[in-house]
Amino acid sequence: EDQVTQSPEALRLQEGESSSLNCSYTVSGLRGLFWYRQDPGKGPEFLFTLYSAGEEKEKERLKATLTKKESFLHITAPKPEDSATYLCAVLPGGGNKLTFGTGTQLKVEL
Amino acid sequence: EAGVTQFPSHSVIEKGQTVTLRCDPISGHDNLYWYRRVMGKEIKFLLHFVKESKQDESGMPNNRFLAERTGGTYSTLKVQPAELEDSGVYFCASSPRTRDIQYFGAGTRLSVL
């Protein structure tokens, strides 16, 4: 059975204090690993897809990386508007259902 | 371009009643998915439509849940009769036929009292 574990569950940063979120996964033939951002009362908002080990994607202050067992979401010099829950999900080869982790709740303070 | 829209945003019902949730996917998206998040747990897959056909309904909890997708456009998820453990947030997502990215709606928060 596919499994996704995210850590930490919650993270509090000062503005400008860089950090990384972790997503460990087991999946039968990874087709893609997805990062989403979720704000309170809203649905998950797509950020990145990674398909193979060694791949990296960047968007503003966020960079996602992928190995064969885990993915990291690096946040460089975060701002308060980066506060949200970040979700990791995997898509298995030959399947269409995403398996999600429980997310990391990030709060960035001034 | 309009995103995935879900209605209602919040529903409060009594145990034993029936509730119908609606999802309008992004126009032109053949794939439509239902997911659910119960309190404190991760988002979990319920089922997947390709156009009007059910492709995978392995995540449906039991036969009190019925999903339909009329003419390959909008979808409904009916819970009848509702139980307390059905409370949670129900998300709908859609994707184009040839892409893996699933775009989510804002969800329907269901409270069964």
Task: Give the tens place of pLDDT for each residue, B1-36.
Answer: 689 999 999 999 999 999 999 999 999 999 999 999
Closest to A45 in 3D by CA, of A86, A8, A10: A86
Q: What is the pLDDT of residue B40?
A: 86
Task: Mark which residues 4-33 of B lie under 8 Å from A by CB.
Answer: 4, 31, 33
Q: Please enumerate in sequence order all residues whose Cβ is within 8 A of that of B50, keeping only pairs 6 or more positions apart, or say none.
A: B30, B31, B97
Q: What is the pLDDT, as a whole number, of residue B72?
A: 84
Strand-pair category, B44-50 with B31-37: antiparallel
Distance between CA A53 and CA A22 in Å, rounded?
A: 15
Cross-chain Cβ contact B101/A4 below 8 Å: no
pLDDT of the residue at A13:
98
- Among B4, B31, B103, the residue with its CB nearest the CB of A96 is B31
Q: Do B104 and A43 touch (CB under 8 A)?
A: yes
Contact A49 B91 (CB under 8 A): no
A100:B105 CB<8 A: no
Cβ–Cβ < 8 Å for A36, A23: no
The pLDDT tens digits for A43-75 are 999 999 999 999 999 999 999 999 999 999 999
DSSP reduced 3-state for B97: coil
State how far the Cα of A3 lies from the Cα of A89, in Å rounded to an integer: 9
DSSP-derived secondary structure letter, A44? -
Report the pLDDT averaged over residues B108-113: 98
To the nearest whole Å, the CA of A18 is away from the closest chain B CA by: 26
Summarize the confidence of residues B82-93 as an average pLDDT. Answer: 98
Would the CB atoms of B48 and A31 count as touching at under 8 Å?
no
Instruction: Report the alpha-carbon distance of residue A65 to residue A57 in Å, rounded.
Output: 7
* Residues B49-68 pLDDT 10s: 999 999 999 999 999 999 99
Nearest Cβ partner for B91 among A43, A99, A101: A43
Residues of B in contact with A88 (CB under 8 A): none
Q: Is the peptide bond before A8 cis (omega within 30 degrees of 0)?
A: yes
Residue of A98, A104, A105 for testing the chain B interface, max B β-carbons within 10 Å: A98
Chain A nearest-CA distance from B45, in A, is 6
Task: Determine the pLDDT at residue B107.
Answer: 98
- Euclidean distance between the first and the last CA atom of chain B, given in angstroms as a whole number: 37
Quickly state the pLDDT bin for A95 (edges 50, 70, 90).
Answer: confident
Task: Assess whether pLDDT exceeds 90 at residue B70.
Answer: no
Percentage of chain B modeled with pLDDT above 90: 90
Report the C-alpha gap between B67 and B45 in whole angstroms: 13
**Residue labelled with tokens 């529903």:** B11
Of B68, B87, B69, B83, nearest in space to B18 by CA: B83
Chain A CB within 8 Å of residue B49 CB? no
Q: Could you give the C-alpha distances from B62 to B4, B20, B46, B86, in angstroms and in order? A: 26, 16, 10, 11
Q: What is the mean predicted confidence (pLDDT) over A5-29?
A: 97
Q: Which two tokens stand for residue A58?
A: 């960047």
Whether A46 has its CB under 8 Å from any CB of chain B: the answer is yes
